[in-house]
Amino acid sequence: MTSTTTAVGADRPAARPARATTRRNPSQRRAARRQALIGWTFILPFAIVFAVFLIAPLVYAFYLSLFTKGLATGTQFSFFGNYVQAFTDPSFLKGLWFVVRFVVVLVPVQMIVSLAAALVLDAITTRFARFARLTIFLPYAVPTVIGALMWGFLYSPIFGPTQQIASAIGVSAPVLLGPDTIFGSLVNVVTWQWAGYYMIIIYAALQGVDSTVYEAARIDGANAWQLAFRIKVPMVANSLVLILVFALIGTLQFFSEPQILRPIANGTITPDFTPNIYAYSVAFSYAQFNYASAISFALGFVVFLCVFVFLFATRKRGSVFA
Amino acid sequence: MKKTRLVVVAAAVGGILTALVGCSPSGGGGGGGGGSVEHATNCTNKLVVKSAPTVTVWAWYPNMAKVVDNYNNAHKDVQVCWRNAGAGGPEYDKFQTAVSANKGAPDVVMLEADHLTNFEIQNALVDISKYGANKVKGNFSAGAWKDVSSGSAVYAAPIDGGPLAMIYRTDVFKKYGITTPPKTWAEYAADAAKVKAAGGPAFGDLGGNVPALMMALEIQKGAQPFVYDYSAKPKDITIKLDDQASKDVLNYWGDLSKKGLVGKQDQFTTDYISGVVNGKYATYISAAWAPGYLTGAGVGKGTDKGKFATAPLPQWDAANPVSVNWGGSALAVTTQATDKALATKVALGLYADDASLADGWKTQTIFPLNQNVLKSPEFVNAKIDFFGGQTANKDVYVPAENAYKGFTYPPFTVYYYAQLQNQLTAINAGKIDGAGAATALQAQIIKYAKSQGFNVK
């Protein structure tokens, strides 16, 4: 995180004088042009991949979303009709409401877990810390699909360990993928998967804090708690905002875990469980690519809105910290 | 300066695009034009006669490799190039994408009968009656032929069927004193209560994820959920999901589920199979292909060997039995096929030779619909290992198949099934009763059909 900021910062002063020189004389202008050309050449590979595999499909999907195709009708241009339909479609709204609730619960839980882990690991310097760091990070290294399959086994009420524990105590195993429990079970899976990754980001930021700051605080009589909450947390506020944005975007686009758990969730995970699963079902199962594109763009719009609001809200607080 | 940038970017993008376009014929060769020699490299099987035109086929029959070899060895004028594009859902998703993209579909595709209409209406399948499909009509029961037809048009060659029956555990029946398998649904419910009262396992299972089975059970009581004829009036559909028969059947199962007489577990899951293995379910209402599926899943082995038997499906009116069907598959010719006559020839002949059919039923891969097999003494008198040597074909499945009259499927089966699945899940959760589910379903499906541009009656 810190390294990228410095890299961007170092770039800027170099670019500005270069632009200023273009007004001087023809030879310098030519040199600047050559320099710009070299710059373009460097980003060209990325730019091409970006254009071909991201911009072009996006434009095409948006184009698709402006048409309507019913099974019994031909394709018609409907302008924003699909978007009106999406924002009044109970399935889409229900999924949206689910992911919004999910964000509200999941993001704080993830933050607390990863922040706590990072603070503890930052405070202790034994060999155990290195081992613990790796262990907490490990779930992130497990592919999502495998992680979800694994949890599917752990949650199974018939042959999973939950069943074994429950039968040992003499009670019937709880249905962890039922309509009332699915929310908590998914929060658990996602936290398990991502907390380690966020922990590493926060931990890296903590390592970047100048130790003289701590020294000064200790001289002023700060104890370990004060050091953690008054010094460390504000110092890594930027990283916290970053991972919040990651978590926000990732969670609003929730897809993989519920999709993998769907066949074993006994009907709890419906084809409109989250907006992304709904878009997938609409496109590939119900054959409505146009409407699916509109759903995807509608979701993208909601994500953009949420992130924008969030960044706007945290910018002020960030300045307070700084 | 701006111009140079533009030129550079344009040139680069152009170069990449050319490269990509240049790639696509070899890279994206998922099918399309039959008859080209290029396809030989994309086949799972080996072509015997390299010079003959090829027909590409997607299918997921487990013994397909043998079937394709049988066909290719016997034909000099045409060769099958076969690929397995996934079983059921995954293949439909791929085929749907190819249909929407208008390229990439194979010449011949394996589809289940209930999904045909969905692709017919997208003009993805060819009416093969134009290419001589009616010549083999006599090889199939009226019901099997109706399932692949729409009026006089024929959209696929039937291969595999699923007449319903009741598989049961003889050990559970014996333990709880059920001497004869229930013949009616009233007896089924009474036996279920009896077993439960004696502390026994669930009698059956109301799986939310098997809506096709529930639809068949509703039709058994006289429901006619859809009236639709693609070839005559592609835009008109009659929807009746909340008639008394549908409500009765949903209430019946909802009631069993509520009283805990049947399980609430989704089927085809590890949890369900482990329940079947452990005798958690006394019966399994399922199709003729079920023994093969269960054997493959490890059921009926070891100490469980020979503990299963099968009986005719319980009836609402024992005096007027109705035979219904769940699943089964067919080979359809796609409109993307370059040589449709040749593709039809393959669809009709591929799984129709004696060697392939015999291999299919002996390995319990398929329940063949071809009457040449259904009438052969070897098939009729076969003692089925899974059922402890019971002559299941003669006793149960052949009569059930011959009495089957065929269904009419809607052009949006996947959507209908998804909504029915939601309702079944809600019934199992105790959130709605059967009649309420039927009413809700009717409203949902009518709304959807209208949004798709159908004239709903």
In the 8-state DSSP scheme, what is residue B130? G
Whether B7 shows a pLDDT value over 50: the answer reads: no
Number of domains forming the structure of chain A: 2
Contact of B271 with chain A, judged by CB distance below 8 Å, is answered with yes
**Whole-number percent of chain B with pLDDT over 70:** 91
Does residue A239 sit in the same domain as residue A277? yes
**B 224-243 residues with CB below 8 A of A?**
234-235
Could you give all domains of chain B from N- to C-terminal order, each with its CATH number? 28-161+327-379 (3.40.190.10), 164-324+412-456 (3.40.190.10)
Residue A250 lies in a domain: yes
Q: Do B266 and A271 touch (CB under 8 A)?
A: no
What is the per-residue pLDDT across A214-271, written as a single tens digit (0 to 9) for each? 899 989 988 888 888 888 999 898 889 888 888 898 899 999 999 999 888 888 898 8
The lowest-confidence range among A157-171, A218-232, B100-114 is A157-171
The pLDDT of residue B23: 37
The pLDDT of residue A14: 43
A73 vs B contacts (CB less than 8 Å): 452-453
The pLDDT of residue A317: 54
Q: Which of A40, A71, A73 sits opposite B411 (nearest CB)?
A: A71
A289 vs B contacts (CB less than 8 Å): 100
Coil, strand or helix: which one is B7? helix
Residue A89 lies in a domain: yes
Give the list of residues 6+ apart from residue B365 with CB closer than 8 angstroms, or none: B61, B62, B63, B292, B359
Contact of B122 with chain A, judged by CB distance below 8 Å, is answered with yes
Mean pLDDT computed over A181-208: 92
What global pTM score does this model have? 0.82
What is the per-residue pLDDT across B190-248, written as a single tens digit (0 to 9) for each? 999 999 999 999 999 999 999 999 999 999 999 999 999 888 888 999 999 999 999 99
Contact status, residue A283 vs residue A289, Cβ threshold 8 Å:
yes
The residue whose two tokens read 């922040």 is A115
Q: Do B454 and A72 touch (CB under 8 A)?
A: yes
Mean pLDDT computed over B392-400: 93
What is the per-residue pLDDT across B155-182, written as a single tens digit (0 to 9) for each? 999 999 999 999 999 999 999 999 999 9
CA atoms within 13 A on the CB side of B379: 24
The pLDDT of residue B379: 93
3-state secondary structure A203-250: HHHHHCCCHHHHHHHHHCCCCHHHHHHHHHHHHCHHHHHHHHHHHHHH
Does residue A26 sit in the same domain as residue A100? no
Does residue A35 sit in the same domain as residue A176? no
Does residue A115 sit in the same domain as residue A259? yes
What is the per-residue pLDDT across B273-325, written as a single tens digit (0 to 9) for each? 888 988 899 999 999 988 888 888 888 888 888 899 999 999 999 999 999 99
B356 φ/ψ angles, rounded to the nearest 5 degrees: -65, -45
User: Is residue B285 within a helix (H) or strand (E), and if so which, with residue range?
Assistant: strand B283-287
Q: Which domain holds residue A158?
A: 85-321
Domain boundary among the residues A65, A97, A119 is at A65
Q: Please state whether B125 falls in left (phi above 0), alpha (psi between -120 and 50) or beta.
A: beta
Domain boundary among the residues A65, A95, A118 is at A65
Residue A73 lies in a domain: no
Does residue A36 sit in the same domain as residue A162? no
Average model confidence (pLDDT) for chain B?
Answer: 87
Whether A19 shows a pLDDT value over 80: the answer reads: no
Q: Do B208 and A281 touch (CB under 8 A)?
A: no
Mean pLDDT computed over B250-264: 95
The residue among B78, B90, B85, B96 whose CA lies nearest residue B35 is: B78
First to last CA, chain B: 66
Q: Do A52 and B453 touch (CB under 8 A)?
A: no
The pLDDT of residue B106: 95
The pLDDT of residue B362: 87
What is the per-residue pLDDT across B358-383, written as a single tens digit (0 to 9) for each? 999 988 888 999 998 999 999 999 99
Does residue A34 sit in the same domain as residue A91? no
A with B: how many residue pairs have Cβ under 8 Å apart?
Answer: 105
Q: Rounded to a whole number, what is the distance in Å from the CA of B382 to chain A's nearest CA? A: 35
Q: Rounded to a whole number, what is the distance in Å from the CA of A60 to chain B's nearest CA? A: 13
Tokens of B88: 């059921």
The pLDDT of residue A23: 59
Whether A13 shows a pLDDT value over 50: the answer reads: no
Sheet holding B455-456, edge to edge: B226-228, B236-239, B455-456
The pLDDT of residue A310: 86
Does residue A133 sit in the same domain as residue A207? yes
Q: Where are the alpha helices (DSSP H) in B268-397?
A: 270-277, 290-296, 340-349, 354-362, 371-374, 377-380, 392
Residue A76 lies in a domain: no
The pLDDT of residue A5: 40
Closest chain A residue to B275 measured between Cα atoms? A158
Does residue A20 sit in the same domain as residue A154? no
Does residue A96 sit in the same domain as residue A224? yes
What is the per-residue pLDDT across B44-89, written as a single tens digit (0 to 9) for each? 888 888 889 999 999 998 889 999 999 999 999 999 999 998 888 8
- Helices and strands, counts by H and E, chain A: 16, 2
Tokens of B341: 């006559």
Does residue A26 sit in the same domain as residue A174? no
The pLDDT of residue B298: 85
The residue among B213, B48, B230 whose CA lies nearest residue B124 is: B230
Contact of B20 with chain A, judged by CB distance below 8 Å, is answered with yes
Residue A269 lies in a domain: yes
Does residue A266 sit in the same domain as residue A186? yes
Domain boundary among the residues A18, A33, A65 is at A65
What is the per-residue pLDDT across A271-302, written as a single tens digit (0 to 9) for each? 899 999 999 999 888 888 899 999 999 999 99
Residue A78 lies in a domain: no
Does residue A234 sit in the same domain as residue A155? yes
Q: Do A266 and B265 touch (CB under 8 A)?
A: yes
CA–CA dist B304, B13 (Å, integer) = 64
Relative orientation angle of helices A90-123 and A237-252, to the nearest 10 degrees: 150
User: Is residue B175 within a helix (H) or strand (E), and if so which, with residue range?
Assistant: helix B170-175
Residue A18 lies in a domain: yes
Q: Do A267 and B4 touch (CB under 8 A)?
A: no
Closest chain B residue to A287 measured between Cα atoms? B96
Residue A116 lies in a domain: yes
For residue A24, what pLDDT band results from cuts at 50, 70 and 90? low
The residue among B351, B362, B340 whose CA lies nearest residue B136 is: B351
Q: Which of A158, A267, A287 sits opposite B275 (nearest CB)?
A: A158
Contact of B307 with chain A, judged by CB distance below 8 Å, is answered with no
